[in-house]
Amino acid sequence: FTDSMREGRPVAVETRHLIQVRKKYIEKCRTSPTPTAVATVSQYACQRRTTTENNNKIFTDAFEVLVEIYEFNEIEGPCLAFRRAASVLKSLPWAVQCLGDTHNLPCLGEHTKAIMEEILQYGRSFEVEKILSDERYQTLKLFTSVFGVGPKTAEKWYRRGLRSFSEILADRSIRLNRMQQSGFQHYGDISRAVSKAEALALRNIIDEAVHAITPDAVLALTGGFRRGKEFGHDVDFIVTTTEMGKEEGLLPRIIDKLTKEGILLYCDYQASTFDISKLPSRRFEAMDHFAKCFLILRLEDSQVGGGLHIAEGDIRGWRAVRVDLVSPPMDRYAFALLGWSGSRQFERDLRRFARMERHMLLDNHALYDKTKKEFLAATTEKDIFAHLGLEYIEPWQRNA
């Protein structure tokens, strides 16, 4: 199976090792009690409880590499298939020991099982390893790790023969936009994970800013940190006011305040394009229409309980952090909160479940019943789950 085996190179040592691994695997299959009494697992992530504890990381990490390469190659079907497969395995309270363990599970196709088989037998997938060592994959992965650089731009730079950041920055014909400039400027900091302590420190900063503007402010930490993750790539907040209409102009005032405090390193503000009369939106759009801003903030060491999550030897005493703020009107709060809490796969399956099983349309703005031809009101996430006839799933169980 390995490249050296395929190419017929001398492989005695490697082969002997693989035979050992395989023997162990066969023995494990023979003795592993197949979890037969396991309750049926739903094909929808919104009917599964998925905590941050992933018992099948060895498989899901491999699937996520395949998701990435299919994304780079714009091949949607297999991309979605591997996303769903990874999500199913993440929900299991046990580790798959043997392919037989998976026969009752949904969303695992032939290709998925072939990858799992490789990993079970040899401890690794040769298909995934081939991708990981591929120059195009490595380059696209590197380029898209920059804030503001998507797969299209990364591909364009790759095709021009560029392979490193220094080559991009030295290329006079490339004009970076403001977002990309900030992306390169703060690369070290924003490619480094944000800790929970840092997220909580940022919540204090935003909380203080918004309460200085209005006493009836509502602030919620969403995204991965609301789901109980210890680390994230950014910190997501919903910020609004209890009084309808008063949320207009709230973000610009927060931005103004952060600027005066000298901690705003980057800001992309997008005013609201939310128009209730345009609902329901038939096709799901990548972004909702609420006012929002994508920020880079300066966080001081002294503001973080337990200190900043920075590299050893970093003596600046601060770091840059990516922060997203979204500001829906209060009557849309529950939908925005549900939408921004993620995970992305959980959201995809909520919408798919609504459409396929309930003949309803769900997005970050509203829930529409196509049979009754009416919008269903909600003030809490529980209301939305109830409208959908779903058991309530706590945020920390949405890590699908």
Q: Which residues bind ligand DCT (CB under 6 A)?
A: 223-224, 229, 232-234, 236, 286-287, 339-340, 342-344, 347
Nearer to Mg ion, 117 or 268 (CB): 268
Instruction: Report the nearest approach of ligand DCT to the CB of residue 277 (Å).
Output: 22
Consecutive H or E run containing 318? strand 318-327
Contact residues for 237 (Cβ-Cβ < 8 A; gap 6+): 203, 206, 219, 220, 221, 222, 323, 324, 325, 326
The DSSP element (H or E) to which 325 belongs, if any, is strand 318-327
Q: Kindly indicate which of the ranges 11-19, 84-92, 206-214, 236-244 contains the residues binding Mg ion, using the contact rule CB under 5 A.
A: 236-244
Q: Is 395 in the site for Mg ion (CB under 5 A)?
A: no
SS (H, E, C) 288-314: CCCEEEEEEEEEEHHHCCCCCCCCCCC
Q: Is 216 exposed, middle or buried (0-12, 13-18, 19+ CB in 10 A)?
A: exposed
236 is catalytic: yes
Annotated catalytic, 363?
no
**C-beta of 172: minimal distance to ligand DCT in Å?**
33
The answer to whether residue 223 forms part of the interface with Mg ion (CB under 5 A) is: yes
Length of the chain equals 400
- Minimum CB separation of residue 287 from ligand DCT in Å reads 5
26 contact choice in ligand DCT, Mg ion, none (CB below 5 to 8 Å, kind-dependent): none
Nearest approach in angstroms of CB 28 to Mg ion is: 37
What tokens were used for 291? 């006012």
Catalytic residue among 61, 268, 314, 324: 324
Q: If binding is defined by CB under 5 A, does position 236 make contact with Mg ion?
A: yes
Q: How far is 329 from 225, CA to CA, in rounded Å?
A: 23
Residue 148 interacting with Mg ion (CB under 5 A): no
Set 189, 236, 349, 363: catalytic member: 236
**C-alpha–C-alpha distance, residues 252 and 172, integer Å:** 35
Residue 348 CB, nearest distance to ligand DCT (Å)?
9
Secondary structure letter of residue 398 according to DSSP: B
Using the minimum distance from each CB to ligand DCT, give the nearer residue, 233 or 358. 233
Catalytic residues: 234, 236, 324
- Residues forming the site for Mg ion (CB under 5 A): 223-224, 232, 234, 236
